[in-house]
Amino acid sequence: MAATRVIACLDCDLLHHLGEVPEGGTALCQRCGGLLRKRPRNSLEHTLALALSAAILFLVANSFPFLSFAMKGRITETTVMTGIIDLYNGGKWQIAALVLLTIELAPVAQLTLLLYVLAPLRLGRVPWKLPHAFRMLRHAQSWSMIEVFMIGIIVAITKLMGMATIVPGLAIYAFGLLMLVLAGAMSSFDPESVWERVEALR
Amino acid sequence: MSEIAATAIAASCASCHDCGLLAQLPASSHAEACCPRCGAELHERKPRSLERTLALVIAAIVCYVPANLLPVMTVTSLGKTESDTIFSGVVYMLEHGMWPLAIVLFTASIFVPMMKLGLLSFLLISVHRRSSWRPVERTRMYRLTEAIGRWSMVDIYVVTILVALVRLGNLATIEAGAGAVFFGAVVVITMLAAESFDPRIIWDRSDMREP
């Protein structure tokens, strides 16, 4: 591995000679302050562990109702999927598709791809079609919005509180944890160290 | 870390959009080049960045009007029907003393989309006029636009959850309105617009003015 590399800032194109960034360190562009390189501690292992826990939490969050609502003796329970199906049945397929993409498909893709890239590398193998997986991961990441959904849940609960009894379900806690774990996984994920590991293996 | 007084484009290099590797571009300027590390197509700048961003910003502004005028949800309770637009939803919260919620919804649904459209339009105009005004601050504006966009989705999720929870037949039902569809479109289109804008163009224009 070369001690110094030349890289360009992705925000302003200025060239930098970048030396080895220490673990836990960050390098910023001298001209515009853009992020050149962030190197989290034990990136691969941390991300892998967090992605695995996130996958389990995701399953829990989707298998149980996250809210039940009681009004005049009638109780309705909802999971994320029933919400999406209700929107679809109500004729608002565009919103149903958007929620399906941002709360179900993109997070599933994000977690699957993270595990797909990191697990083989941990075992010393280069995953098949790694560049494609990386490209898809970048897109999945920008459309996965679990944290925004969490705020949506809180707003909805507060709105309905005066109207009826709201009972938070198991899934709501799973969603809360998922939000934190997923944020942790993404902030410890460092594509550059993945590439370094790949180059060392080849 | 030491600085070289040059940009990648001046050294006829390009950063890979996908993996960030700095690669030398081939001498003939129109040949297609690929990243030696990940195989993605190399471009000095995002292709047709300004045209794409401008088209998407205009589309978002067009959708923004019905998003605010049409109801985002309709509440039917005991035969009474009430429609809420984004703005009346915030006002309702304020009137009922739920001001923390009113602030969250105002920020996510009114302030963030307006700020995004405002900032993107400003960046497009400043780049078009080849302005060299405060490139550092304008780059920061761009990063802000990119970071806050997703938070506007809050309202869409609130509608989804309310629709799913409140379906008690004649007692009370909530339905999503057409405004929500347009609002969702605004969020998606502005996210795509922010992604297609290339902040390095801000610097190209001011680099050219320097002697």
DSSP-derived 3-state class of residue B57 = helix
Q: What is the pLDDT, as a whole number, of residue B131?
A: 81
CA distance B100 to B106: 10
Give me the pLDDT at residue B125, please.
94
Q: How far apart are CA B186 and CA B68, in angstroms?
A: 11
Q: pLDDT category, B1, cuts 50, 70, 90?
A: very low
Select from B15, B18, B163 the Cβ nearest to the Cβ of A131. B18
Helix axes B154-165, A80-89, angle to 10 degrees: 90
Q: What is the pLDDT of residue B211?
A: 42
pLDDT of residue B79: 78
Query: H/E element holding B137?
Result: helix B135-148
Which range, A21-25, A157-161, B72-76, B118-122, is most confident? B118-122
What pLDDT does residue A4 have?
77
- Residue-level pLDDT at A147: 93
A77: confidence class by pLDDT, cuts 50, 70, 90: confident
- Residue B23 — very low, low, confident or very high, per pLDDT cuts 50/70/90? confident
Chain B hits for A12, Cβ within 8 Å: 7, 135, 139, 199-200, 202-203
* B29 confidence band (pLDDT: 50, 70, 90): low
Q: Does A202 touch chain B (CB under 8 A)?
A: no
Confidence category of residue A160, pLDDT binned at 50, 70, 90: confident
- CA separation, residue B33 to residues A48, A134, B23 (Å): 33, 19, 9
Report d(CA B130, CA A174) in Å as an integer.
Answer: 50
Q: Which residues of B24-44 are buried (b: 16+ CB within 10 A; e: fewer)?
A: ebeeeeeeebebebbebebbb
Residue recorded with tokens 């081939």: B26
pLDDT classification of A74: cutoffs 50, 70, 90 = confident
CA B43 to chain centre: 22
In this predicted structure, what is the pLDDT of residue A23?
A: 86
- Is the CB of residue A156 less than 8 Å away from at least one CB of chain B? yes
Per-residue pLDDT reduced to its tens digit, A87-113: 898 888 999 999 999 999 999 999 999
Task: Please check whether residue B69 touches A, CB under 8 A.
Answer: no
Give the separation between CA A171 and CA A188, rounded to whole angstroms.
25
The structural domains of chain B, ordered by start, are 1-44 (no CATH), 48-209 (1.20.140)
Q: Is B98 an interface residue toward A (CB < 8 Å)?
A: yes
Cα gap B73→B86, rounded to integer Å: 9
Per-residue pLDDT reduced to its tens digit, B147-182? 998 999 999 999 999 888 887 666 788 889 999 999
HSE toward the beta carbon, residue B68, CA cutoff 13 A: 13
Q: Which residues pair with B75 in a beta bridge?
A: B82, B174
pLDDT digits (tens, 9 = 90+) for B59-103: 999 999 999 999 999 988 877 888 989 999 899 888 988 888 899
Label residue A172 left, alpha or beta by phi (over 0 means left) and psi (-120 to 50 means alpha). alpha
Q: What is the mean pLDDT of residues B44-69?
A: 94
**What are A164's two structure tokens?**
């009826």
Q: Is the pLDDT of residue A169 over 50?
A: yes
Most confident of A60-69, B35-44, B93-102, B176-185: B176-185
Whether residue B161 and residue A78 make contact (CB cut-off 8 A), yes or no, is yes
Enumerate residues 26 to 45 of chain B having a beta carbon within 8 A of any beta carbon in chain A: 37-40
Chain A contact set for B151 (CB, 8 A):
148, 151
Residue A202 has pLDDT above 80, yes or no: no
Q: What is the mean pLDDT of chain B?
A: 87
B7, B155, B163 ranked by CB distance to A14: nearest: B7
pLDDT in tens, A7-53: 899 998 888 888 888 888 899 998 888 898 888 988 899 999 999 99
Q: How many CA atoms lie within 13 A of A59 on its CB side?
A: 6
CB-based contact A86 B164, cutoff 8 Å: yes
From the list B18, B167, B200, the residue facing A76 with the nearest CB is B167
Q: How many CB pairs under 8 A join A and B?
A: 197
Q: What is the 3-state secondary structure (H, E, C) of chain A?
A: CCCCEEEECCCCCEEEEECCCCCCEEEECCCCCCEEEEECCCHHHHHHHHHHHHHHHHHHHHHCCCEEEEECCEEEEECHHHHHHHHHHCCCHHHHHHHHHHHHHHHHHHHHHHHHHHHHHHCCCCCCCHHHHHHHHHHHHHHCCHHHHHHHHHHHHHHHCCCCEEEECHHHHHHHHHHHHHHHHHHHCCHHHHHHHHHHHC
pLDDT for the residue numbered A200: 86
pLDDT at A150 over 90: yes
